[in-house]
Structure 1
């Protein structure tokens, strides 16, 4: 029969997997609402953020109980990393809610005539999130490590988008409100990639007991195009 500690540890792991699934879903739906200017979908994304908030609290509460049981080193790493990963997932939910808020605002504004394509940034941020969660599920440190250099390319893509939007606002002041909303969405996507990178670093620590957060980063691939 499974001992209580192992059962509680499995339940903690299941809570994390649920959070991961909900975070991915929130990002997907927020971006869909942004692309289609669907205010109703954006509202549902915003309202669903409270579920991730609640799950983060549950993970922390369960982790504290497990820490009091003096687990073995490998289990201790899982418990402590669970708290860190849940925090990053909750913050990804927050970023999705911000995107949804921007989608609601833009739903009532005319389209902006500017050749800035957020799709490459969105696809990469979502891919990084999925990869980091897959690495956690499979306890795959190599996959987690391979994700980390991609964050630099996301940063470069975000910078290029920001510069293009700023230049457009300087030439077309009437478009400033809409451009600021798009700029916020781009920043949210960059932050989602940051949180995915944090999760990947936590996975490496979970698997290898090696803290790589402040180690030199490998060279990144070139940034994606920002024009359509």
Structure 2
């Protein structure tokens, strides 16, 4: 019974890693589409929406099966519940990446140049990578580092938002495009927030305690 449980737990980790890797690849494509105005790449991202949703459902079903048939206790329960909760955040990240790609299609010929956008995307992608790796490796310290670095993306969001406001003040005709870029950086901020949630559930899976992010 114990051996079967550990095998199923390993399968969950493998599926989470597979989903996480696919999400990272998709984020990289969305980044390329936004920065280069690549419509074909953006459409490739949008086409992955169904696949990512199915991955989330498969992991959720396996977690629920384990909870119902194996009745895990103590640390084992923390691991399964942690996985069950964090895939919800991964699913939302996947949906928001798809939304980023949709804006890449809208913004295929932008007039506004955002100097800090690539840095914000790099920081968001790094947080996503570290949060997924921390969960798979059950690395409490790595999870903490993701949570502690959340404010970096927030700072980029504020700077870019201020820049957009300045652009519209100088040229009101840029308002529609500015609103689209505002949605882009908001999605990036939310992806970083969900990466922090993944890290928080990693902390819970390892320690059995909730670790709140700093104010």
- Same fold per TM (> 0.5)? yes
Q: Deviations over 1:48-103 (max 9, x none)?
A: 02111111111111111111121132221111111111111111111111110011
- For 1:148 and 1:3, the matched residues in 2 are separated by 34
Task: Tell whether 2:209 aligns with 1:210.
Answer: yes
Matched with 2:30 is 30
- For 2:59 and 2:113, the matched residues in 1 are separated by 43
1:184-203 alignment runs, 5 A limit: 184-203=183-202
Matched with 1:97 is 98
Task: Tell whether 2:56 aligns with 1:46.
Answer: no
- Contact persistence 1:114–1:168 (CA under 8 A): no
Task: Tell whether 2:132 aligns with 1:150.
Answer: no
- Contact persistence 1:116–1:164 (CA under 8 A): no
Matched with 2:158 is 159
TM-score, length of structure 1 as denominator length? 0.88
- Contact persistence 2:123–2:152 (CA under 8 A): no
The structural deviation recorded for 1:164 is 1.5
Structure 1: tracts of 5 or more residues without a match: 219-228
Q: CA RMSD in A?
A: 1.8
- For 2:111 and 2:11, the matched residues in 1 are separated by 47
- Contact persistence 1:112–1:179 (CA under 8 A): no
Aligned length: 214
- For 2:173 and 2:194, the matched residues in 1 are separated by 34
- For 1:174 and 1:208, the matched residues in 2 are separated by 53
- For 1:74 and 1:95, the matched residues in 2 are separated by 32
- Which structure carries more helix by proportion? 2
The structural deviation recorded for 1:113 is 4.1
